[in-house]
Structure 1
């Protein structure tokens, strides 16, 4: 049965931008690909297009517009107010600057973004976590919600809604809370010997949903469980 609406590939730039804002989840996905094909036209409308989104939110439509420009017309980003310092707002309860994280995600440098995320979590957990080089699950409850929310928002905004702690939490809930079912779902490999990066890890937008950021499970699932149940994330799941 025909819907009566033209496919995304036949829509004009204004229609594509409107669908990216107000379309269904499925429509937004198909629109994302079509919008990249008209990146030249998008470069002349980006500033206006971004006004449909809130820098305080995590709508990946805004993140995708910025990523298309970064891919094809990076010179136009300099002309958009606020982009140089990070278009999405990045509040922190303890003065951490998340600009490098936002910049890495914008450029789709996901391995660097994962490293910066781990570094930020150690800072948030306290001096002892920084000194030892990793976070104990028992240190997670003391982390301020606003920072975890900021980190999660940035991952979601620059991954078409595919990556982030709350994405992992949603998938885990759909699998009955079973981590042994979550690992293959998000493309993590647990062969009994965990390293910092599981085998076959992918640092790209095409990675499985929930693939990033990585949480080391060397000491079991308690760290990831503590993160996903943290009030700053649980309220967003």
Structure 2
């Protein structure tokens, strides 16, 4: 059957920043007038110049490291931590186990729990059969899908989640082959679909959008239904569309 998800039993995941050395000063023994040069000073990000408003990073891309740092800090604040994610559910579901598995870095188990939760979101009939019809996705509350997505975003630093996959899908112009390449679900010259679960990457540094998984071997209808759910609509686009619609009213 196309566009369905099968549930399986849940079974029982660095970089050091080096310090730049200080630039030493030399003694000028010439009798000619000394040439003034800005002295280097140590900063947390490496070596900075005492004079002027730019640091060394501006020599490469024109962007001061302070601006980059502020951008990364803002991005991190926007993502928040797992403890900041409200476990909201309009269905009364408990997402505590998913949060705990993600916090422990148990990516594969967290993926299994996500699949189980999606089945529970779809309703009693989905639970009885053990998988989800793509037509059932539209009735899933946005709050529940967003809670799962926010947990994945927070645990991965913005690398994983349905919303990340949605962006990759749009970037791939909704061409499934390109999308699967983008999130590393296929491999080899023939773009063979990775064998589940052994060939998928259960690590924190897999390709952006690699997790969570949705079975697409028998069709992409279920995955498409998830990605097109209102929970993951582009808010900016939605607002601009509404403004445009309101402007033509008479």
Same fold (TM over 0.5): yes
Query: Aligned residue for 1:138?
Result: 135
- Kindly report which structure 2 residues correspond to 1:87-126, keeping only aligned pairs within 5 A, or say none: 87-126=84-123
Query: Aligned residue for 1:197?
Result: 196
* Paired residue secondary structure (1:139): helix
**How far apart are residue 218 of structure 1 and its match?**
2.6
Q: Does the 8 Å contact 1:110/1:203 carry over to 2?
A: yes
The change in CA–CA distance for 1:209 and 1:236 in structure 2 (over 3 A counts) is farther
Q: Please state if 1:163 is matched with 2:210.
A: no
**How far apart are residue 143 of structure 1 and its match?**
0.3
Query: Aligned residue for 2:57?
Result: none
Question: If each structure's strand is expressed as a fraction of its own residues, which one has the higher value?
Answer: 2
The change in CA–CA distance for 1:132 and 1:196 in structure 2 (over 3 A counts) is farther
1:172 to 157, 169, 172: 169
Q: Matched residues in 2 for 1:215 and 1:236: separation? A: 24
Q: Please state if 1:212 is matched with 2:211.
A: yes
Q: Matched residues in 2 for 1:9 and 1:204: separation? A: 30
Deviation per CA, 1:123-153, whole angstroms, max 9, x where unpaired? 0101111111111110000001100010000
Question: After alignment, is 183-192 or 139-148 more displaced?
Answer: 183-192
1:59 to 79, 84, 90: 79
Question: If each structure's helix is expressed as a fraction of its own residues, which one has the higher value?
Answer: 1
Query: Aligned residue for 2:70?
Result: 23
Q: Does the 8 Å contact 1:110/1:204 carry over to 2?
A: yes
Q: Does the 8 Å contact 2:108/2:202 carry over to 1?
A: yes
Q: Does the 8 Å contact 2:162/2:212 carry over to 1?
A: yes
Q: Matched residues in 1 for 2:192 and 2:205: separation? A: 26
User: Structure 2 length as normaliser, TM-score?
Assistant: 0.62
**How far apart are residue 92 of structure 1 and its match?**
0.2
**How far apart are residue 176 of structure 1 and its match?**
0.9
The change in CA–CA distance for 1:194 and 1:180 in structure 2 (over 3 A counts) is closer
The change in CA–CA distance for 1:99 and 1:182 in structure 2 (over 3 A counts) is same
**How far apart are residue 89 of structure 1 and its match?**
1.2
Query: Aligned residue for 1:44?
Result: none
> Which has the bigger relative contact order, CA under 8 A and spacing at least 6?
2
* Paired residue secondary structure (2:156): coil
Q: Does the 8 Å contact 1:215/1:224 carry over to 2?
A: yes
Q: Which has the larger radius of gyration?
A: 2
User: Structure 1 length as normaliser, TM-score?
Assistant: 0.65
Superposed CA RMSD: 3.4
* Paired residue secondary structure (1:103): helix
